[in-house]
Structure 1
Amino acid sequence: MSNRLYSPKLSEYTKIEGARFTAKDFCETLDGGQAFRWHRTDQFTDATPEYFGVFGNNFAKLKLGSDGQVWGAFRLDGKKISEHAKELAEYLDCGTDYESVRKRLRATRDPAMLRALEIHPSLRILRQNPAEAIICFICSSSKRIVQIKQCVQLLAENLGEELSEGVFALPGFDKIADAPIEVLRSCKLGFRADYLKKSAEKIRRDKFDPMSLRELPYEDAKSYLTSLSGIGDKVADCILLFGASRFEAFPVDTWIKQAMTEIYSTPADAKKIRAFAAEKFGDLSGFAQQLIFAAKRKNLI
């Protein structure tokens, strides 16, 4: 998707405090399957990657300097640039002390984890809006990242608020619940259209606040999510990890199942793999998962 489709007037680039990455980890964090609304700009290079995208009601271009510093330019919408920068810093989870997190994982002295930490020294977990994570990960079932991005973009264009010409926020659950099923299916969702509509209807009926996923006990939060249509254990854990910052959530997909059976000789059973990870990595098992996932996907561990 070319950034020529998106041409709102933007601010000058501003430094995002606390946001530093290697180029590889910047790309992996934004474009490795945690979120689906970021796209490479025409100025993207491997050494200095640059993306454009929407988070919440914010449109931004993000670029990585040669020194690893993240810079952001934002749609001019009357809000102070400092407020945009603060919201982006929260989205990039700049409030978490990742050095302390990495130190705790290094203390496990697990060879595979030490290797993954070496490969990805600045990877982090995005702190997305939980409602957006629910929507995006219901759309993600059995699809590749490029396909998920297309579905999510069509959903925003068909039902979301137009922030400026060509720039759309994701719709809320009311809009999705009220939408004709034909509109949802036109977003290339296939069978996921029914899942998304039924889930939106239940969330509205229950008056459930997705932000509560950050505070509820983990098992209660996961139990509610798996009561929604189209959400099993893996998708629930993706929502909790990438949308609710629940580092104890350990999504098990094909890549992780392969990695855990090969590296740790675990049974090829998702429940047993999650139990093994919880015992080995504790309340950081979700961050450990992302490190292992990223390294294994590139055949580096």
Structure 2
Amino acid sequence: MTALRDFDLEATLECGQCFRWDRQPDGSYRGTAGGKALCVSQDHMEAAMDDPFWRAYFDLDRDYAAIREALSASSPVLAKAASFAPGIRILQQDPWEALCSFIISQNNNIPRIKGIISRLCEAFGEEMEQGVRCFPSPERLAGLEEEDLAYLRCGFRARYILDAARKVASGEVDLKALRTAPLAQAREQLMAIVGVGPKVADCALLYGLHRLEAFPMDVWMKRAMKEWFPGRKPEDFGPYAGIAQQYLFHYIRTAPPGGQSVSA
């Protein structure tokens, strides 16, 4: 089939926003979300395009070309970053899975993050179609103790995972309500969880709750803001700040250093 416009499967799945997709020897990707399994490649997206769940997951119905054009017009840096990886989309992941995954991501690298999440699903997730293990619910984890998570080898993060599970399961942190709450209020509620700071909260908001105005700030983005946007704040990027962030994050991490010379 003809490849989708404004969609790059590899860039979308390899840009650090998700952890349950694995590249196969033939270049396709095998992954799971929402208790469903999928094997998909850039040139064969039929299964994703024909299934409402996967269309929503890959955000295929959003006009990223228009968003990219508007962002590019606001800054030559953004224009260059967006043109470097124009096919990145923000996945619509499960809010709880995204929150827990980014708690696990703290001071960690992607292979270890993926390993911990795989072991978490193997140990506590329900088996679904094609032998897939679902991401365990907060209710499933809420009754556990830190020693129960020793198998995960997640270290200090075990306490954070359990506190998050208990607060979400009890309703103290209402993820559904955070979809529409004012962004600052939603961030504050997430930061009531032990171990969740502004960066993890914004990752949960952007990648799990699809709050496209959220702008996670890690060391890479702090560098990008200092070098390219001195004096500007994340909210200055507008309602699609999260998409701008993803273009900039991918660009500063992966573009050849010589290609990053551009003025704001």
Same fold? TM cut 0.5: yes
Structure 1 gap ranges (5+): 1-14, 45-49, 74-80, 267-274
Partner of 1:70: 45
Match of 2:235 among 272, 278, 284: 278
Structure-2 separation of matches of 1:20 and 1:195? 40
More strand by share: 1
Match of 1:54 among 32, 51, 58: 32
Match of 2:57 among 74, 88, 91: 91
Structure-2 separation of matches of 1:19 and 1:210? 32
Conservation of the 8 A alpha-carbon contact between 2:138 and 2:165:
yes
Counterparts of 1:103-252 in structure 2, within 5 Å, are: 103-108=69-74, 110-164=75-129, 166-206=131-171, 208-252=173-217
Q: Show CA shifts across 1:48-105 (max 9, x none).
A: xx1001101101101111xxx62438xxxxxxx95xx110010001232212211211
Conservation of the 8 A alpha-carbon contact between 1:18 and 1:94:
no
TM superposition score normalised by structure 1: 0.79
Q: Partner letter of residue 291 of structure 1?
A: Y
Structure-2 separation of matches of 1:70 and 1:126? 15
Conservation of the 8 A alpha-carbon contact between 1:41 and 1:52:
yes
User: What SS does the corresponding residue of 1:162 show, helix, strand or coil?
Assistant: coil
Structure-1 separation of matches of 2:31 and 2:66? 29
Identity of aligned residues (%): 35
1:35 is aligned to 2:18: yes
Match of 1:256 among 212, 221, 246: 221
Aligned residue pairs, count? 257
| Counterparts in 2 of 1:19 and 1:216: CA distance versus 1, 3 Å | farther
Please state how far the C-alpha of 1:20 moved relative to its aligned partner: 4.2
Structure-2 separation of matches of 1:261 and 1:216? 29
Structure-2 separation of matches of 1:181 and 1:20? 46
CA RMSD of aligned residues (A): 2.2
TM superposition score normalised by structure 2: 0.90
Q: Partner letter of residue 35 of structure 2?
A: N
